[in-house]
Structure 1
Amino acid sequence: MSTCGRFSCTAIDGSIFHWEQEADNISIYFYLDASLKANDIQVKFRANSLIVEVKGKEILRGNLCKTVLVDDCCWTFTDNFLEITLAKSVSHQAWEYLLDNCDKLSKNEIETQKAKILLERFQHDHPSFDFDGATIQGNVPDAHTFLK
């Protein structure tokens, strides 16, 4: 389910986390216990998978929808808010899900994400144009391969 382009998934411990995507990255958001410190958290990035541990217990593990650039992935923990950023291996590709154990996006959600990413690409390729308020409707092409 989406709220402003963010999607929800359930972690191993039953908590809910959110994720969203842009042309070049995926952002994952967790609210964690306020007593935690950054050294209580371990995030293991692999090209095809992700593991998140808190105090040695896994709260997230799964195979990613697509591959990421491990050296460009990072995470931050501030005020009990964990943000993980995954760098897409192939920019401008819309992911249909985050992890194999999360729900897939609906066809409508996928088309909306593809349109958003395509507009981001247009803005990047044509910085002098104003795409604010622009919409793409119908069968949206893959922004990674469109007009290349």
Structure 2
Amino acid sequence: MANFDEKSEIIPCNTPWGKWLQTVEDVFVEVLVPEGTKCKEISINIQTKTIKVVVSGKELFSGDLYKAVHADEAVWTLEDKKLIRICLPKVHSTAGNCWKSLLKSQYEADPSTFDQMEQKLTLEKFQNENPGFDFSGASITGNYHDGGPKLG
């Protein structure tokens, strides 16, 4: 699992319990929990199309994921007894697979945040397809839906 801080400028979507963010290949979830929380107090159930996060008997969130994930490859960690990090590998890892929300009908990115997410995933796709080029300072303009600009 990549260190989230190493991913340059990933666009987060804030939630009442933390935030979620994504790359072409993964969705990352960061859940703030009370300081001193222990692993045995955490129950995280990840299925291909659903997730449920419970801490100290209190459900923080649950529901149908926006799209399918490889549940058997998903991992979570508790850091400093106050932050849960969850990595959900996407089943379809293409720039066109930009999630609009973490769960169906919940935790949706606002239009501006979603546009930034799509642009970042498009740049990441270009970088993956062209490893000899540096796209770190690049910016893209246009209408980004389904992983690329729409040309008129």
Structure 2 length-normalised TM: 0.82
Aligned-pair CA distance for 1:134:
0.7
- 1:90 corresponds, among 68, 89, 92, to 92
Pairs within 5 Å for 1:32-43? 32-43=33-44
Which residue does the alignment assign to 1:13?
Answer: none
Describe the superposition over 1:60-96 as per-residue Cα deviations: whole angstroms up to 9, x where unpaired.
1111111111011110002111101111111121000
Task: Give the count of matched residue pairs.
Answer: 138
Unpaired segments ≥5 residues, structure 2? 1-8
Give the CA RMSD over aligned residues. Answer: 2.1
Describe the superposition over 1:3-34 as per-residue Cα deviations: whole angstroms up to 9, x where unpaired.
96111123xxxxx3111111111111122122
Aligned-pair CA distance for 1:45:
0.3
Report sequence identity in percent: 28
Paired AA for residue 132 in structure 1: S
Paired AA for residue 86 in structure 2: I
Paired AA for residue 55 in structure 2: V
Paired AA for residue 5 in structure 1: I
Which residue does the alignment assign to 1:21?
Answer: 22
Which residue does the alignment assign to 1:6?
Answer: 12
Q: Conserved in 2, the CA contact under 8 Å of 1:118 and 1:142?
A: no
For residues 48 and 31 of structure 1, what CA distance do their matches in structure 2 show?
23
Unpaired segments ≥5 residues, structure 1? 11-15
- 2:131 corresponds, among 108, 127, 135, to 127
Paired AA for residue 133 in structure 2: F
Structure 1 length-normalised TM: 0.84
